Amino acid sequence: MSQIADNRILRITKLFVYLMMGLVALLGAIALGGSALVPFFWSTIFLGLSKSYPAVDPAFLLSNFLAIMTLWVLISGLAWSILRKLLAIIGSVEEANPFVRANAVRLKAIGWLMVGIQIAGVPLEIAGSTFLALRGKPYDGFELPINSILAILLVFILAGIFEHGADMREELEGTV
């Protein structure tokens, strides 16, 4: 086993990814359960809400709530997929075999899934602003997620590096 494969950081990262997967699965399940159950109890919930916020429209609020839950389920699915791919990449590093074409494909897919999360985050933020407005907090508007954009670009660059690494490795394997 190589030094990289024996790395503690790798083991900690793997543990962290497993924890994140658990969290994502839990949040996804809550959102799924919420979107399935809340409509049945909406009248009761709305009675409580209308006492605090009399001007609120129940149909509008319910549709916003369902939109948030649906988007949250979608984002959880995308995040789950990212974490699964990340786990596979970590596995290949553990086996001291990271420069394979599959990892380049995985990284590219992770990049696109991250783009998907960013896109799904926009309507989520807009729908969420309805609930913030109830509490008197106005919607600040869309902010450019510079950190996320940089992270996505980094992942695509890494995918290119892995593709190049896989090419070099294939050539090395064909060298006698």
Tokens of 150: 């940089």
Least distance (Å) from another protein to the CB of residue 10?
Answer: 31
Question: With respect to another protein, which residue has the nearer C-beta, 6 or 170?
Answer: 170
Least distance (Å) from another protein to the CB of residue 168?
Answer: 11
Please state, in angstroms and as integers, the Cα–Cα distance from residue 23 to each residue in 19, 27, 163, following that order.
6, 6, 31
Question: With respect to another protein, which residue has the nearer C-beta, 11 or 164?
Answer: 164
Q: Look up residue 139 and give its DSSP letter.
A: -
* Residue 74 neighbours by CB under 8 Å, 6+ apart: 120
Number of residues interacting with another protein: please give it, by CB under 8 A: 5
Question: With respect to another protein, which residue has the nearer C-beta, 140 or 173?
Answer: 173
Least distance (Å) from another protein to the CB of residue 170?
Answer: 8
**Subset of 115-174 contacting another protein (CB under 8 A):** 170-171, 174
- Considering only 1, 9, 144, 176, the residue that binds another protein (CB under 8 A) is 176
Tokens of 149: 């954009």
Q: Look up residue 55 and give its DSSP letter.
A: T
SS (H, E, C) 42-81: HHHHHHHHHHHCCCCCHHHHHHHHHHHHHHHHHHHHHHHH
Question: With respect to another protein, which residue has the nearer C-beta, 59 or 172?
Answer: 172
Tell me which residues touch another protein (CB under 8 A).
Answer: 170-171, 174-176
